[in-house]
Amino acid sequence: MRPSSPPPASMQPTGPLPFTVLYRDNRFVVLDKPPGLPVHPGRRGGASVEDWFPLLSRHRNGPWLAHRLDQDTAGCLVVALRKQALVAAQGCFASGQARKTYWAIVQGTPAGRSGVVTAPLGRVEEAGQWRMQADVQGAQPARTRWRVLGQGLDAAGAPISWLELELETGRTHQARAHCALLGSPIRGDARYGAPTAGALHLMSRGITLPLDPPVRAMAPPPDHMRRIMAQAGWVVPPVNVEKETARCSPIL
């Protein structure tokens, strides 16, 4: 991943961070990325997580994203404050040592209570839109462990399920494509077969990097997922996080 430069001083945001800090030491910050906020600035401009990097560190170089999350996916996002930490984190992701746990609210009910999806994924173009598809030319290995945490009905009476997903590989849209292959697309994910478009009900619940010392963080569900969980009668365990209510003090 190519390190990016911070925005010019005139463009750097001030004031409170728009996200919660879940974990922080002198190597890393783990942020609770809100849904809808991209990690990188897009071609058309607009806010991104990187805009707030100058508030996280006073170092001349960095910070750097250690990995990526889709724009519409909420939850744990690891930011490296030092180049050595970046290399170590990327090594964990590349080798499969990083533990990445996701939560998804999906349409319907998968067959069984748990399982593993191993379908290789490759990118295809369909009607001017790309998506990841199983077993196409150039597909790369992908492996997702899943288990059902809850089942219920949405406000319209349609069956929904709460899944925990452990991504053992890191393919683009892996969680979304593999849930679709289970016959239970993620709620709001019309690209992968959900009946209606809307807020994507997918979050990066937890991240563990087996470094010395290890990095561990866990994020609470975003509001739109929490509302559906409450309506379905599911109990979500509380998460203790550092609430950032004022400007973040940069780490020296």
pLDDT in tens, 168-191: 999 999 999 999 999 999 999 999
Return the active site residues: 70
For residues 204 and 102, the answer to whether their CB atoms sit within 8 Å is yes
pTM exceeding 0.75: yes
Asked whether residue 210 is assigned to any structural domain, the reply reads yes
What does the pLDDT read at residue 150? 97
Task: Please report, for the domain that includes residue 182, its CATH number.
Answer: 3.30.2350.10
What are the helix (H) ranges across 61-211? 83-95, 174-181
> Rounded to an integer, what distance in angstroms lies between the CA atom of residue 199 and that of residue 205?
17
Domain containing 186: what range? Answer: 9-119+135-232
Asked whether residue 250 is assigned to any structural domain, the reply reads no
Asked whether residue 83 is assigned to any structural domain, the reply reads yes
More confident residue, 248 or 94: 94
Q: What is the pLDDT of residues 202-219, one digit of tens each?
A: 999 999 999 999 999 999
Closest listed residue to residue 49, CA positions, set 59, 66, 61, 37: 37
> Rounded to an integer, what distance in angstroms lies between the CA atom of residue 52 and that of residue 32?
13
Closest listed residue to residue 24, CA positions, set 96, 100, 102, 77: 77
- Give residue 244's pLDDT band: very low, low, confident or very high (50, 70, 90): very low
Straight-line distance from the first to the last Cα atom of the chain, in angstroms, rounded to the nearest whole number: 24
Average pLDDT over residues 73-89: 96
Average pLDDT over the chain, rounded to an integer: 87
Asked whether residue 246 is assigned to any structural domain, the reply reads no
Q: Does position 144 have pLDDT exceeding 50, yes or no?
A: yes
What does the pLDDT read at residue 78? 98
Task: List the structure tokens of 84.
Answer: 């050595």
Q: What is the pLDDT of residues 39-76, one digit of tens each?
A: 988 777 788 999 888 888 877 788 999 999 999 999 99
Asked whether residue 247 is assigned to any structural domain, the reply reads no
- Give residue 15's pLDDT band: very low, low, confident or very high (50, 70, 90): low
